Amino acid sequence: MQKKLSFLFLVSIFILFQNSVFAQEDSEAKTLFSGTNSLNTQNIGFFLAPAYGITQMDGASVSLFNLRGGVTFKDKITLGGYFSTSLNQINPQSEDLPNIYMDYWSAGGFLEYTVLSKKLVHLTFPLYVGVGEVEMDSESMDIELGESNFFQIEPSALLEINLHKYVRFNVGAGYRIVGNMQYRNFDQSNMSGLVGTVGFKFGLFR
């Protein structure tokens, strides 16, 4: 009788231990790469967006090429980087020397918020934050005119149209705000101003 009780006791302990192990497995902490809490990539997309812009710098008309790319979350929030450069030779009005032209470029990051992206027509608001540079050269004289670097920020608003599942068209405007700078005969007040843009987005929008 005592042996039977001992056997039943051992079997009971084994069953309880086994149930405890399975219960522990079920209650294990969920990790990033396992279980139902694994990283959900279905809400993550990306895009590449070339655009053409037009603005003024020190009274001169400037054509711009802008290229940006970023990672999107739920097709609402985008975080990425951009590069912008002048396409034409800029002739500043304040320059006294003849045959002088200026180049411009800017690079940095951007944060963008898109409203109702699934609608055919919707709005999106990129905010650019970066650094820029202007540099003057002479067409006829071998002289060094140096360059100037500065901080800039550009809030923008774009009207966007879904042309295709992977293509969007946008048009809008922004305002370039240039930090403290001084170059030749002009300063930040001559560099800040409106920027009109038109462009496309190519990407995976989720």
The CA–CA distances, whole Å, from 194 to 30, 62, 66, 124 equal 50, 11, 15, 17
Q: What percent of the chain has pLDDT over 90?
A: 71
List the chain domain ranges. 1-39, 44-204
7 vs 123, more confident: 123
Residues 123-151, mean pLDDT to the nearest whole number: 91
Give pLDDT tens digits for 57-105: 999 999 999 999 999 999 999 999 999 999 999 999 999 888 899 999 9
196 vs 97, more confident: 196
Highest mean pLDDT among 15-29, 33-47, 105-119: 105-119
Enumerate the H helices of 76-204 as residue ranges.
188-191
Residues paired with residue 158 on neighbouring β-strands, in sequence order = 124, 172
Give pLDDT tens digits for 94-125: 998 888 999 999 999 999 999 999 999 999 99
Under 8 Å between Cβ of 53 and 84: yes
pLDDT at residue number 138: 85
Under 8 Å between Cβ of 193 and 177: no
Report yes or no on whether pTM surpasses 0.85: no
User: 126 pLDDT exceeds 60?
Assistant: yes
pLDDT at residue number 40: 64
Residue 63 neighbours by CB distance under 10 Å: 13
Burial class (CB in 10 A: 0-12, 13-18, 19+), 125: middle
Q: Which has the minimum average pLDDT: 8-17, 68-77, 165-174, 193-202?
A: 8-17
H/E stretch holding 6 reads helix 2-26
The CA–CA distances, whole Å, from 151 to 52, 65, 81, 143, 178 equal 21, 19, 15, 26, 6
Highest mean pLDDT among 16-25, 140-149, 186-195: 186-195
Task: At 4, list the tokens.
Answer: 């039977």
Task: At 201, list the tokens.
Answer: 């987005």
Mean pLDDT score of the chain, rounded to an integer?
85
**CA atoms of 16 and 23, how far apart (whole Å):** 10
User: 24 pLDDT exceeds 50?
Assistant: no
User: 197 pLDDT exceeds 90?
Assistant: yes
**CA atoms of 53 and 198, how far apart (whole Å):** 7
CATH class, 44-204 region: mainly beta
User: 7 pLDDT exceeds 60?
Assistant: no
